[in-house]
Structure 1
Amino acid sequence: MAREQFNDLLWFLAVAEERSFTRAAARLGISQSTLSHTIKRLETRMGVLLLNRTTRNVAPTEAGERLQLAVSPRIAEIEAEMAAIMEYRDKPAGRVRITLSDHALNTTVWPKLRGILADYPDIRVEFSIDSAFRNIVDSGFDAGIRLGESVENDMVAC
């Protein structure tokens, strides 16, 4: 589905929930005319009338009710998941995967990381003890620590 079509569904839901083009347009921050044209385009594309309109009322047709019942919970799920994901910006959380040698883990990384993990219990660190050079991105790692001077051209050495 094209992004434009997704927006058309969101705008249809606003009209169906508000049962008014005027209130839905105000809620969406767009003109009533733009909203009306968008809904008409959606109905034309789908080949079915989604809203019954009079000068005073707007109500979903049977097809409109079906579309609203199908789409509305999914949009709510997406919005809830986006809100949950946005919690990551408030505190460090999630998984970090690091490939490194056992020597680097024991002498450098773990002594520094232990205190950080105690302060941020929502961070999960996975270590892969390995001395081979690898493409850390292709292998699904967030970081790689190696001893020596050989680093791939697209990697950063510190």
Structure 2
Amino acid sequence: MDPRKFSDLVIFNRVAEERSFTAAARSLGVTQSAVSQTVKRLEADLGIRLLSRSTRSIAPTAAGERLLATLAPVIAEIDAEIDDLEQLREEPGGRLRVTCGKHAADTLVWPAFSRLIAAHPEIDGELSVENRHVDIVAERFDVGIRLREDLEMDMVAVPVGPHLRAVVVGAPRYLDSCDPPHTPRDVSAHRCIGFRNAGGTLSPWSFEKDGHAETVKVSPSLIVNDGDALVGAASAGMGLAYMLEDLAAPFLNDGLLVEVLADWCPPFPGYHAFYSSRRHPTRAFTLFLESLRAETSATTSK
């Protein structure tokens, strides 16, 4: 249907409801002349009179009544659906699908997600934890959580997590058997444990000091694709490993791992929530972001 004709039908329906061009124009926020001309155009397009006009009143003709019998319920249904959609902006109910990697889930997303669902049981929640780059548009996720550097250009990204830091660690017995590295380039002389990321490539070891950035591509003697396995291999003395600090923290505190190159490992921006720029955020999505930020505040204040 021609979009203009649908608009004309809506105006005709309002005139028939109000039984007045003036009242219809006032409710629609347009001039009386515009309403009158629209109805005349619709009648000309259809080749039939829809309204009987007199100096005192306006009433639908038989053809007009027949058209209204079909038109009025359809417009009323559309209006009701729009009201329901507007209500969704205020009420958090509905579906919320979230995707993220395991580290993000363990440290940030699950605490925030579970708290939201507990507070709003009317939300149907789904959390998908997988270490791959998910196309959230194609797979119909509302929001994903990733590091900023891994995001596509057409996504809206909102920072939600605290800064993170990567560390290079090794077991005391391994470091006692060799000369610990003093610069990133020294790493190449060591046995290294590599991590294969979601894209199938080996994660580079990135360093920065005094404004100088350096990336080292190691030749690992062992490769894993799981954070727990990475920590376990390093703790077993199989070589140096590069990982997020909070993964290593319990083992560093217990003396099972020792950090090296600490002055080359500054903090960097943490996780971002991302969603399609073509999608209007729902109330449930907004509440989820608030829950993520509250989790971040609680974590950083400890």
What percentage of residue pairs aligned between the two structures are identical?
45
**Partner residue, 1:55:** 55
How far has the Cα of 1:64 moved from its partner? 0.5
Three-state SS of the structure 2 residue aligned to 1:30 is coil
| Equivalent pairs, count | 157
User: What does 1:7-156 align with in structure 2 at a 5 Å threshold?
Assistant: 7-102=7-102, 104-145=104-145, 151-154=150-153, 156=157
Cα separation, partners in 2 of 1:142 and 1:50, compared to 1, 3 Å? same
- Residues 16-51 of structure 1, C-alpha deviation per residue, up to 9 Å, x if partnerless? 122222332333333322211110000111121111
Three-state SS of the structure 2 residue aligned to 1:115 is helix
- Residues 77-103 of structure 1, C-alpha deviation per residue, up to 9 Å, x if partnerless? 111111111112223232121223455
Three-state SS of the structure 1 residue aligned to 2:96 is strand
Q: How far apart in 1 are the matches of 2:21 and 2:82?
A: 27
How far has the Cα of 1:104 moved from its partner? 4.0
For the 8 Å contact 2:19–2:57, the answer to whether it is kept is yes
Cα separation, partners in 2 of 1:31 and 1:149, compared to 1, 3 Å? closer
TM-score by length of 2: 0.46
Aligned Cα RMSD in Å?
2.4
How far has the Cα of 1:15 moved from its partner? 1.6
One-letter amino acid of the structure 2 residue matched with residue 58 of structure 1: I
Three-state SS of the structure 1 residue aligned to 2:150 is coil
Higher percent of residues as helix: 1
For the 8 Å contact 2:99–2:134, the answer to whether it is kept is no
Q: How far apart in 2 are the matches of 1:9 and 1:71?
A: 8
Q: Please say which of residues 89-98 and 8-17 is displaced more in the overlay.
A: 89-98
Three-state SS of the structure 1 residue aligned to 2:124 is strand
Q: How far apart in 2 are the matches of 1:35 and 1:153?
A: 47
Listed as ranges, the gaps of 5+ residues in structure 2 are 158-270, 273-302
Listed as ranges, the gaps of 5+ residues in structure 1 are none
Cα separation, partners in 2 of 1:126 and 1:43, compared to 1, 3 Å? same
